[in-house]
Amino acid sequence: MSVLFGVISLCVGYFGEYISKDLVLEKRLEIEKKKQEDFNDIIEEDKKKPKNKIVYLDIVIKDFMTDDRTVRVFIELFFDKVPKTARNFYELCKKNKYAGVPFHRIISGFMIQGGDITNYDGTGGKSIYGKEFNDENFRLKHDSEGLLSMANKGPNTNSSQFFITLSACPHLDGKHVVFGRVTEGMEHVRNIGTSPTDFSDRPLQDVLIIFSGEKTPDVKKKTKV
């Protein structure tokens, strides 16, 4: 009788151990499945996010003493952070609306400003949404050189005017919307930043955007000088 009881106990033990291992395996499979589902959700979410685009500005720098120079600056637009603001600049570049528009204000060590597509002197501008549009958000900070930000006349007065920083400008945070950064050609931006200016920060020699567009595989890094 005791032998039979021992055999039964042994069988129950093996069965219980089998059940336990099976439950552990099932739990592991559930965890792996959940991880895969979470990973797939992340992938799908990334697909829904707007992709950043890169545009370029061809800029001619007039010089009284030497030949004019033409340079190309590439800029990444932050569609993933400020899609409405990025879209405005992107469409203006794609449609070449900045052709003939000067950098009308240059402050050494601070920024270069341009983009007045209506009056060409810093008093005008027009967005793709009408004359002006509201500040989208101030998530990105003016914490380095080479940042593209909206110039404005106060809150919610964004149009086509923009500036590129020549240094960190924390005093502009919360007042101007950062929406891009220079990816190639920052040396040209720095050079423009050293242009001689008058008492109102207007360059004494013209610095003009002559063409703009989207970067594609066939677009070269620089125009000929």
- 113 exposure class (CB count in 10 Å sphere: 0-12, 13-18, 19+): buried
- Identified catalytic residue from 72, 176, 181, 188: 176
In this predicted structure, what is the pLDDT of residue 28? 75
- Catalytic site residue 140? no
Q: pLDDT, tens digit, for every residue of 55-88? A: 999 999 988 777 899 999 999 999 999 999 999 9
- Identified catalytic residue from 89, 103, 162, 163: 163
- Identified catalytic residue from 88, 152, 158, 161: 152
Average pLDDT of the chain to the nearest whole number: 87
- Has residue 41 got a pLDDT over 80? no
Sequence length of the chain is 225
- Identified catalytic residue from 52, 69, 96, 110: 110
- Catalytic site residue 176? yes
Measure CA 183 to chain center.
10
- Catalytic site residue 110? yes
- Identified catalytic residue from 162, 172, 179, 208: 172
- Catalytic site residue 152? yes
Contacts of 85 (CB under 8 A, 6+ apart): 136, 150, 158, 177, 179
Q: What is the mean pLDDT of residues 35-56?
A: 69
Closest among 162, 154, 158, 116 to 134, alpha carbons compared: 158
- Catalytic site residue 78? no
- Identified catalytic residue from 88, 113, 158, 161: 113
In this predicted structure, what is the pLDDT of residue 8? 55
- Catalytic site residue 105? yes
In this predicted structure, what is the pLDDT of residue 46? 47
Q: What is the C-alpha radius of gyration for the chain, rounded to an integer number of angstroms?
A: 29
Q: How confident is the model at residue 16 (pLDDT cuts 50, 70, 90)?
A: low
Q: How confident is the model at residue 10 (pLDDT cuts 50, 70, 90)?
A: low
- Has residue 224 got a pLDDT over 80? no
Strand partners, 184: 74
In this predicted structure, what is the pLDDT of residue 2? 58
Lowest mean pLDDT among 13-17, 176-180, 208-212: 13-17
Q: What is the mean pLDDT of residues 20-32?
A: 72
- Has residue 36 got a pLDDT over 80? no
- Identified catalytic residue from 87, 104, 105, 181: 105
Lowest mean pLDDT among 23-37, 43-57, 148-162: 23-37
DSSP secondary structure of the chain: -HHHHHHHHHHHHHHHHHHHHHHHHHHHHHHHHHHHHHHHHHHHHHHHSPPPEEEEEEEEE--SSS--EEEEEEEEE-TTT-HHHHHHHHHHHHTTTTTTEEEEEEETTTEEEE--TTTSSSS---BTTBS-B------S---STTEEEE--SSTT-BSS-EEEESS--GGGTTTS-EEEEEEE-HHHHHHHTT--B-TTS-BSS-EEEEEEEE--TT--S----
Q: Do the Cβ atoms of 132 and 159 come closer than 8 Å?
A: yes
Q: How confident is the model at residue 89 (pLDDT cuts 50, 70, 90)?
A: very high
- Catalytic site residue 188? no
